[in-house]
């Protein structure tokens, strides 16, 4: 029996040479099989029909010739890559539940890491956009104590800036910056108060890269009556009109002309102004604003040095500038602090930068890395746990000739595909979470979709995540031997290999560390919040002196008390929650040299501070310059100041301030109250009579009346005696609460990412439990038939997983104790780490793990054993 000759000849002539052997072979094989089944005659007729099926372009197309020749029988790298991703996609679809767990875990981990990385990028880029960033410095003061310790001061005297410009050719430009937010700004029929601005030298806009979008490009701040505003403020004041040349009234009488409009400031800068006024305008305001005293430090000063100037040598050169001009060798020296350290290294110890926000950046950088790592561990564990499901596939591929490299490529393609899908989901999560995240951290982060480098980084991030997640499964699964696969010698216990256990332990160790850290941060914040402040801030409001308030202070005070709206009123140099002014060099009887150069906090009042703020008077009386005119030269001391000065009977003691030629008499002692940070020791405080200036008044509202009624009556009085300005007040208790914002933010962030870590870890544990239960189905059925109870089965299935969580807890204890103990050292007023925090966190971790594994273990324990043993 032979095939018809003519169809063979026709196919031999028409079919492409590289397909001819395969087509003719298939035709002949089919002919002989049909001949045995239906007879030779029918087989020959069908042979003609089959021949016609091959007369199509796909079979008669000729192979290309020349250098572009491609042998279609040999797959290219592109073909292999396409094949890898096709199979990867099919595997994802085939195991929907476990693919969903993998994608969800990776997406959560990537989203958490991206949120942190966006914030970290914002932190490390602070003020790094300035064109002259490498040559910009802030001039710091350095106060030297006799005991050898030094204190860094971020402000200088006002005349220091011009002296630097005049005396040192190394200086290209100098700018002093004096913040202000007390002006009433009026333009046309709109008025606003409390807008942040700054007085600056004309060179400020040359030194710093805050671009003008309209106005004089060279020096828009040369005239004393000029002002530069941001786009945001321009819209607020003038709407859509062109603001250039428009006049703005400051307070009741000052008028300035808009000479420039700045692009709105980016969120990653230390500066927060919405307008700039020339330094000459500050001088025109008179006393209380401009101060030419060399020994009065109250102004940040910035310097731009010329190219190729050695900043270290120049810093040493200006060291004694104030000493030379003040004619004294017992005052502070100076040094340059570079721009790139302003934001991250703002904490000093003995005059040297020792850290600051950089510590938070490092910690959260590690948190981002670990969150991504535990998400990758999920992928590794779930992939290797499915080894039995993939074993036959691997064995057949190896028998068919696939090398280990080909299998590794296949598994890496699956990991990259999963990471790509997770990356898209993570981007969606980040976009939805950003508004809430921005409110939490107090800034404005955004995903820079329009920047090409962002997409390169995103692809790199997804690629690294895919490679990291897929590396271990790829090398592990590709190591299976074909002979072992088909003889079942590779089969493992339900929990699998010990590396998988180690990965689970690593996951939960990190999650538990974050949980414990969050609890300790919370305890520290609560501990400081519950600290005895030393004063009463309830029913206490504060109003800054603006407009006619200072002029009409006595009238306002009497009217508030007479109307029953307030029980007492006092004026002070600043809010009682602030640190006040710092001073050195006070002298007293029995002084020790090491004590006279200790920094003291200076505060001021006119009368009734003790009554208004609720301070506790321990000895003597309160200052009252109206009943006792001599109190203009009297002071109150706190307990710490009394101890520093060594007074046994402080009342009547004399204290002098030589550089100001003042002598005070001590008339009272108050209990220590919190000044500045609630986490620090209370400094020595000297509360003087009228002092150099007053900036604000404190009003103790009448607690017998409703708060709303008190505020309405207070506003009515202020509108009467200060009609040109809106009534702007602040609650002192809210100002005090703001002191905890940074630690509260750290606590919330740590708690948020601890939740991320716990959820991701539990997703992995959920998947591993599912595989373990699936592999042990027949064993569970046998145990149940032999009399095992549901409780025994749940214990049997859960104990291995809970052991891993317990091991993770034991590892987390010393890590957390050491790291959090180091963190607490930054606070003078701090908690001790309690043992119950670890017990509570460990119990919580075990409980969450038990809930996670219980879904599958309880269902398996309750399952009818007939179903699991049916196939036996």
Other CB atoms within 10 A of residue 69 CB? 8
Of residues 786 and 634, which shows the higher confidence score? 634
pLDDT digits (tens, 9 = 90+) for 207-229: 999 999 887 666 788 888 899 99
Query: What are the tokens at 203?
Result: 């060179």
- Categorize the per-residue pLDDT at 148 as very low, low, confident or very high, splitting at 50, 70 and 90: low
DSSP letter (8 states) at residue 95: T
Angle at which helix 741-775 crosses helix 498-529, to 10 degrees, equals: 150
Examine the pLDDT at 487 and tell me if it is beyond 80.
no
Other CB atoms within 10 A of residue 74 CB? 7
Residue 353's region, left for phi above 0, alpha for psi from -120 to 50, else beta, is beta
Of residues 111 and 21, which shows the higher confidence score? 111
Can you tell me the mean pLDDT for 729-738? 89
Residue of 547, 479, 509 whose CA lies nearest to 726: 547
- Categorize the per-residue pLDDT at 618 as very low, low, confident or very high, splitting at 50, 70 and 90: very high
Can you tell me the mean pLDDT for 405-428? 84
Given a contact cutoff of 8 angstroms between Cβ atoms, the answer to whether 48 and 4 are in contact is yes
What is the per-residue pLDDT for 313? 94
DSSP secondary structure string, 332-355?
-EEEEEEGGGTTT--EEETTEEEE
The residues near 677 (Cβ < 8 Å, ≥ 6 apart) are 739
- Which of 167-181, 734-748, 778-792 shows the lowest mean pLDDT across its residues? 778-792
Distance CA 477, CA 414 (A): 13
- Categorize the per-residue pLDDT at 69 as very low, low, confident or very high, splitting at 50, 70 and 90: very low
- Categorize the per-residue pLDDT at 264 as very low, low, confident or very high, splitting at 50, 70 and 90: very high
- Which of 255-259, 416-420, 479-483, 539-543 shows the lowest mean pLDDT across its residues? 479-483
Give SS3 for 536: coil
Look up tokens 């040299």; give the residue. Answer: 593
The residues near 543 (Cβ < 8 Å, ≥ 6 apart) are 549, 696, 697, 699, 718, 727, 728, 729, 730
- Which of 63-77, 675-689, 731-745, 782-796 shows the lowest mean pLDDT across its residues? 63-77
- Which of 88-92, 302-306, 451-455 shows the lowest mean pLDDT across its residues? 88-92
Examine the pLDDT at 860 and tell me if it is beyond 80.
no
The residues near 860 (Cβ < 8 Å, ≥ 6 apart) are 773, 776, 777, 780, 793, 797
What is the per-residue pLDDT for 637? 94
Distance CA 221, CA 826 (A): 42
Can you tell me the mean pLDDT for 115-136? 91
- Categorize the per-residue pLDDT at 88 as very low, low, confident or very high, splitting at 50, 70 and 90: low
Examine the pLDDT at 159 and tell me if it is beyond 80.
yes
Give SS3 for 729: coil
Residue of 247, 257, 246, 250 whose CA lies nearest to 282: 250
Residue of 287, 355, 302, 276 whose CA lies nearest to 156: 302
Sign of CA dihedral 269, 271, 274, 279: negative
Beta-carbon-side half-sphere exposure of residue 663 (alpha carbons within 13 Å): 5
How far, in Å, are 122, 151, 153, 288 from residue 313 at the CA level? 32, 21, 20, 36
Examine the pLDDT at 494 and tell me if it is beyond 70.
no
Examine the pLDDT at 598 and tell me if it is beyond 80.
no
The distance of Cα 831 from the centroid of its chain, to the nearest Å, equals 24
Residue by residue, what is the 3-state secondary structure of 630-674? HHHHEEEEEHHHHHHHCCCCCCCCEEEEHHHCEEEEEEEEECCCC
Distance CA 584, CA 582 (A): 7
What is the per-residue pLDDT for 506? 87
Distance CA 574, CA 605 (A): 10
Given a contact cutoff of 8 angstroms between Cβ atoms, the answer to whether 199 and 226 are in contact is no
Residue 676's region, left for phi above 0, alpha for psi from -120 to 50, else beta, is left
| Percent of the chain's residues with pLDDT above 90 | 29
Distance CA 755, CA 749 (A): 10
DSSP letter (8 states) at residue 820: H
DSSP letter (8 states) at residue 519: H
Beta-carbon-side half-sphere exposure of residue 208 (alpha carbons within 13 Å): 25
Cα three-residue angle 502-508-514, rounded to 5 degrees: 140
Residue 288's region, left for phi above 0, alpha for psi from -120 to 50, else beta, is left
Can you tell me the mean pLDDT for 726-743? 87
What is the per-residue pLDDT for 400? 67
**Please, what's the b/e burial string for 264-278 (b: 16 or more CB within 10 A of its CB; e: otherwise)?**
ebeebbebebbbbbb
- Categorize the per-residue pLDDT at 78 as very low, low, confident or very high, splitting at 50, 70 and 90: low
Per DSSP, helices labelled H in 55-128 are 57-60, 77-94, 96-124
What does the mean pLDDT of the chain come to? 83
- Which of 263-272, 607-616, 677-686 shows the lowest mean pLDDT across its residues? 677-686
**Which stretches of 343-462 are assigned E, i.e. beta strand?**
347-349, 352-355
- Which of 23-32, 657-666, 765-774 shows the lowest mean pLDDT across its residues? 765-774
What is the per-residue pLDDT for 691? 64
Question: Which CB contacts under 8 angstroms, 24+ apart, belong to 166-172?
Answer: 167/321, 168/314, 168/317, 168/318, 169/306, 170/305, 170/306, 170/309, 170/314, 170/317, 171/303, 171/304, 171/305, 171/306, 172/135, 172/304, 172/305, 172/306
Angle at which helix 498-529 crosses helix 835-862, to 10 degrees, equals: 140
Examine the pLDDT at 44 and tell me if it is beyond 90.
no
What is the per-residue pLDDT for 431? 92
What is the per-residue pLDDT for 301? 95
What is the per-residue pLDDT for 273? 94
Can you tell me the mean pLDDT for 732-752? 85
Examine the pLDDT at 610 and tell me if it is beyond 90.
yes
Helix (H) or strand (E) holding 415: helix 404-441
The residues near 476 (Cβ < 8 Å, ≥ 6 apart) are 384, 387, 497, 499
Examine the pLDDT at 600 and tell me if it is beyond 80.
yes
Examine the pLDDT at 492 and tell me if it is beyond 60.
no
Given a contact cutoff of 8 angstroms between Cβ atoms, the answer to whether 390 and 152 are in contact is no
Can you tell me the mean pLDDT for 242-247? 90
- Categorize the per-residue pLDDT at 495 as very low, low, confident or very high, splitting at 50, 70 and 90: very low
Given a contact cutoff of 8 angstroms between Cβ atoms, the answer to whether 677 and 671 are in contact is no
Residue of 92, 865, 763, 779 whose CA lies nearest to 494: 779
H helix and E strand count, the chain = 29, 27
Other CB atoms within 10 A of residue 202 CB? 19
Examine the pLDDT at 75 and tell me if it is beyond 60.
no
Examine the pLDDT at 469 and tell me if it is beyond 60.
yes
Query: What are the tokens at 520?
Result: 């300790």
How far, in Å, are 45, 359, 479 from residue 755 at the CA level? 73, 22, 36
| Percent of the chain's residues with pLDDT above 70 | 88
Residue of 504, 513, 515 whose CA lies nearest to 379: 504
Residue of 731, 840, 833, 829 whose CA lies nearest to 529: 829
What is the per-residue pLDDT for 72? 47
Examine the pLDDT at 536 and tell me if it is beyond 90.
no
Can you tell me the mean pLDDT for 142-169? 85
What is the per-residue pLDDT for 221? 86
Angle at which helix 77-94 crosses helix 96-124, to 10 degrees, equals: 110
Can you tell me the mean pLDDT for 275-301? 84
Residue of 651, 667, 661 whose CA lies nearest to 607: 667
């Amino acid at each position: 029996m032979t095939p018809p000759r003519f169809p063979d000849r026709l196919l031999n002539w028409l079919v492409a040479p590289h397909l001819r052997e395969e087509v003719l072979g298939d035709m002949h094989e089919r002919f002989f099989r049909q001949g045995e089944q239906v007879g030779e005659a029918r087989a020959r007729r069908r042979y003609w029909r089959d021949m016609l099926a091959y007369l199509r372009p796909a079979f008669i197309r000729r192979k290309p010739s020349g250098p572009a020749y491609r042998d279609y029988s040999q797959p290219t790298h592109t073909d292999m890559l396409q094949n890898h991703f096709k199979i990867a996609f099919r595997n994802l679809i085939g195991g929907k539940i476990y693919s969903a767990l993998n994608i969800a875990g990776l997406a959560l981990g990537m989203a958490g890491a991206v949120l942190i990385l966006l914030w970290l990028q914002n932190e490390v880029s602070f003020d790094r956009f300035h064109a002259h960033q490498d040559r910009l410095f802030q001039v710091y003061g350095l106060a030297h104590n006799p005991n050898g310790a030094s204190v860094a001061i971020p402000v200088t005297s006002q005349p220091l800036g011009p002296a630097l410009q005049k005396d040192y050719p190394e200086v290209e430009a100098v700018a002093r910056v004096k913040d202000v937010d007390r002006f009433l700004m009026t333009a046309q029929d709109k008025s606003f108060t409390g807008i942040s601005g700054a007085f600056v030298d004309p060179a400020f806009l040359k030194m710093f890269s805050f671009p003008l979008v309209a106005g004089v490009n060279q020096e828009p701040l040369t005239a004393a009556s000029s002002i530069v505003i941001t786009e945001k403020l321009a819209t607020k004041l003038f709407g859509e009109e062109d603001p250039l040349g428009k006049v703005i009234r400051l307070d009741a009488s000052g008028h300035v002309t808009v000479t420039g409009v700045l692009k709105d400031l980016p969120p990653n800068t230390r500066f927060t102004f919405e307008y700039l006024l020339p330094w000459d305008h500050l001088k025109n305001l008179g006393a209380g604003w401009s101060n030419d005293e060399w020994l009065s430090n109250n102004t940040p000063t910035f310097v731009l040095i010329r190219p190729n100037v050695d900043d270290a040598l120049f810093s040493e050169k200006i060291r004694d500038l104030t000493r030379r001009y003040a004619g004294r060798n017992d005052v502070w020296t100076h040094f340059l602090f570079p721009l790139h350290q302003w934001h991250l290294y703002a904490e000093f110890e003995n005059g040297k930068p020792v850290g600051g926000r950089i510590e938070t950046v490092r910690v959260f950088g590690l948190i981002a890395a670990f969150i991504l790592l535990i998400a990758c561990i999920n992928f590794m564990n779930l992939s290797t746990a499915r080894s039995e499901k993939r074993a036959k596939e691997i064995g057949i591929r190896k028998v068919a000739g696939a090398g280990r490299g080909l299998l590794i490529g296949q598994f890496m393609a699956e990991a990259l595909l999963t990471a790509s899908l997770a990356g898209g989901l993570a981007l969606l999560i980040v976009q939805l979470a950003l508004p809430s995240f921005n409110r939490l951290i107090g800034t404005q982060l955004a995903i820079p979709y329009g920047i090409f480098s962002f997409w390169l980084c995103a692809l790199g991030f997804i690629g690294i995540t895919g490679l990291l997640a897929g590396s271990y499964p790829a090398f592990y699964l590709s190591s299976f031997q074909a002979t072992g696969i088909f003889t079942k010698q590779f089969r493992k216990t339900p929990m699998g290999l010990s590396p998988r256990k180690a990965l689970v332990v690593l996951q939960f160790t990190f999650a538990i560390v974050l949980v414990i850290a969050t609890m300790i941060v919370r305890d520290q914040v609560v501990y400081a919040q519950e600290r005895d402040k030393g004063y009463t801030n309830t029913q206490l409001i504060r109003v800054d002196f603006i407009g006619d308030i200072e002029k009409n202070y006595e009238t306002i005070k009497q009217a508030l008390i007479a109307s029953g709206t307030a029980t007492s009123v006092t004026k002070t140099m600043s809010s009682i929650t602030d640190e006040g002014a710092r001073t050195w060099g006070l002298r007293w009887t029995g002084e020790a040299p090491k004590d006279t150069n200790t920094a003291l906090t200076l505060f001021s009042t006119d009368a009734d501070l003790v009554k208004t703020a609720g301070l506790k008077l321990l000895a003597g009386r309160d200052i009252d310059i109206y009943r006792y005119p001599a109190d203009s030269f009297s002071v109150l001391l706190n307990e710490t100041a009394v101890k520093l000065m060594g007074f046994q009977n402080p009342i009547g003691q004399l204290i002098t301030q030589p550089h100001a030629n003042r002598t005070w008499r001590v008339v009272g002692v108050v209990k220590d109250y919190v000044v500045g940070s609630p986490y620090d020791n209370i400094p020595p405080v000297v509360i003087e009579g009228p002092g150099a200036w007053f900036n604000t008044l404190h009003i103790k509202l009448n607690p017998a009346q409703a708060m709303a009624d008190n505020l309405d009556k207070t506003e009515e009085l202020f509108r009467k005696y200060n009609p040109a300005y809106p009534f702007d007040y602040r609650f002192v208790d809210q100002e005090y609460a703001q002191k905890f914002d940074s630690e509260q933010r750290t606590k919330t962030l740590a708690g948020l990412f601890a939740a991320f870590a716990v959820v991701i870890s539990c997703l992995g544990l959920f998947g591993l439990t599912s595989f373990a239960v699936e592999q042990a189905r027949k064993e569970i059925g046998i145990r149940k038939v032999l009399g095992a109870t549901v409780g025994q089965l749940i214990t049997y299935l859960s104990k291995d997983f809970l052991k891993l969580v317990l091991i993770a807890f034991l590892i987390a204890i010393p890590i957390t104790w050491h790291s959090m103990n180091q963190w607490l050292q930054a606070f003078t007023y701090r908690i001790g780490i309690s043992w119950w925090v670890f017990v509570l966190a460990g119990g919580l971790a075990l409980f969450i793990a038990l809930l996670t594994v219980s879904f599958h273990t309880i269902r398996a324990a309750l399952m009818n054993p007939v179903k699991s043993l049916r196939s036996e």
